[in-house]
Amino acid sequence: MGWQTTKAQSINWTKDGSQYYQIKSGEIFKVDARDDSKQTAWITKDMLTPQGKPAIGIRRFSLSDDGQKVLINNNTKKVWRYDTRGDYWVYDANKKSLVQLGKGLPASSLMFAKFSPDGSKVAYVSEHNIYVETLADNSIKKLTNDGTKRLINGTFDWAYEEEFDCRDGFRWSPDSRNIAYWQIDATKIKNYLMLNTTDSTYSFTIPVEYPVAGEDPSMCRIGVVDVNTAAKKWMAVPGDAVQHYITRMEFSTNPNEIILEQLNRAQTESKVFIGNISNGTTRVIHQETDKAWIDGKARWNEGNPVGWEWLNKGKEFLWVSEKDGWRHIYKITREGKETLVTKGNYDITGIKLIDEASGYIYFTASPTNATQSYLYRIKINGGKEERLSPATQPGTHDYEVAPGGKLAMHNFSNAYTRPQSEVVSLPDHQHISGDNIKLDVDAQNKTEFFKVKTVDGVELDGWMKKPTNFDPSKKYPVVFYVYGEPASQTVTDTYGAGRDFLYAGDMAGDGYIYISLENRGAPAPKGAAWRKAIYKNIGIINIRDQAMGAKEIMKWPYVDSSRVAVWGWSGGGSSTLNLMFQYPEIYKTGIAIAAVGDQLTYDNIYQERYMGVPTNEEGRAPFIKGSPITYAKNLRGNLLYIHGTGDDNVHYKNAEELINELVKYNKQFQLMSYPNRTHSISEGPGTGTHLRTLYTKYLREHCPPGAK
């Protein structure tokens, strides 16, 4: 399940913030940010054409510090969710040469290649070992030798990647002499065996190292290796290496120091250590605790935990904490002294730029409307935040602020305005180039936002798309779209709100009211109490909020309470099952996809973060209480259950446990299993069309559309 991000591909700014790079037609262009008609092919296909071979493709690229070398990644392959494995090439503008890295290593096996700060070398991971390649002669040195399928150097196991967004697992020192890296020992993690019955005559298993809730995590430690001698030193980080996670690690501004964040297994205690790489010693400089859980940097950094926000030549850094009940920015010195920068009853949702030269931090927030997002800035030393996004553009704004803070790529949409992008000047937010943003009332999308207060006094945000030619004197069926868990919001003022992406047809035209509600526990900017109310209550409090919200909606005169459907995917599938089983008097039809039916089968990092560590019967009780299979015997309505048998995230075991419970109590339902499809159920010819057709046909049959 993890959490979901919506960020577009990052823009690659030049150092001075006046231009940006853009991949177009297999070439890299430099675009004048103030006039996008002024663009030049900087790295051409001719430059990217090896002798006697076709030009290489470009999936992503990065530059050396002096801007004279370009590191190009192509031929990428997926590692679980992301295409982080592939080939790498270096184009040297001075030598006018193109060279492929990793000669002798397997094709498409290189990961996270990075220039050394001095630009003389590139380091990368291949098959769980770290290598360094000297660019002058392309000699390759293997820095670690112990990597295996389960002993992982420089990258991460399944759970770290899925739940902490940790993928790139090594860092260059500022002086280019050392590399610090994670080593993950997954040798004791049990395999979940997925069964492939279609790709050969005889079935075979696909093992996935997968620690379920209650099982120990992988062991984690930090090593530092000298790139010249390959001599290693392990950092002495206090605490059991199995019962703690290290979720962030970087070099400080001092090449002899690293800084890291350690979480306890329950993710309720965070400690920040400074480590001396010469002798491996560490010392705590900051710590905090939470009664529920502590979020990682990925939560406010577009799903990316990389980087450390140093200030004042490394004497202090920025930190984000929810300790006062809101997600705020703090300054922390190396001695641990804290200063609150953002103040007030609002959450920051992302840090966009720290511009120390001008003394400002640029961040996103939405103090008065949790469905929207706007850009603010505040002095690094604190003060009153200043909103920069125009008041005339209500909706969701995202920014990639250029170095120097003078320009930004501005991305905007709302429920009735298609996504648009422009370059704006800051802080005045004037249009410079790109789309000249206009609010565009889309006649096909009349999504309304509303609030509803439940019998418990909880106010929920919601959106609603009414039927075409809506007649308030008639009654219409309602379809609820639900997620409900801490990984994602559904009620956001973005283009697409009110659209059912699985419905094969025009839902509004067919006569459905389509609604989504945001329950407590969703990661909305409504304060820590709102988000953390779900602690040890997944499957209970979020389900009650949804159901009580639906009860209020059923009082509306144009809602047909005999035709109420609900659907969701992943955590939303789990919520759908719980709503159907716990509140069968409300929901008459449900379509649940890839659901966690038994919380004790899901991975430990996610499930233990929100539900506690189930080490005994008392610890297991909330998991059982919130699991759909506990309530399957209560099914009264129409249920369609859908799952891919090759789902490495929410295992097909969940489907079979659910089936057993429904069979046990003679509860009739419809099942669709997609052989060898993953959590996205997207692989194979015809799959998407079949899924949409199945979903639409079932909904129309069991929750008939149209006014009555």
Query: In angstroms, rounded to a whole number, what is the distance separating the alpha carbons of residues 280 and 237?
Result: 9
Residues 199-238 pLDDT 10s: 999 999 999 999 999 999 999 999 999 999 999 999 999 9
What is the 3-state secondary structure of 595-619? Answer: CCCCHHHCEHHHHHHHHCCCCCHHH
Based on its alpha-carbon atoms, the radius of gyration of the chain, rounded to whole angstroms, reads: 26
Domain 448-702 in the same topology as domain 1-142: no
The predicted pLDDT at position 444 comes to 59
Residues 511-523 pLDDT 10s: 999 999 999 999 9
* Phi/psi at 701 (5° precision): -70, -40
Q: What is the CATH number of domain 1-142?
A: 2.120.10.30
Instruction: Fold for 448-702, please state it.
Output: Rossmann fold (3.40.50)
b/e per residue 428-467 (b: at least 16 CB within 10 A): ebeebbbeebeeeeeeebbbebeebebeeebebbbbbbbb
Check if the beta carbon of residue 517 is closer than 8 Å to that of residue 550. yes
The closest of 204, 186, 182, 187 to 195, measured between CA atoms, is 204
194 token code pair: 């997925």
Domain ranges of the chain: 1-142, 448-702
The predicted pLDDT at position 445 comes to 64
Q: Where are the alpha helices (DSSP H) in 255-305?
A: none
Query: In angstroms, rounded to a whole number, what is the distance separating the alpha carbons of residues 429 and 388?
Result: 6
Positions of the chain with pLDDT under 50: 2-9
The predicted pLDDT at position 81 comes to 82
The predicted pLDDT at position 11 comes to 82
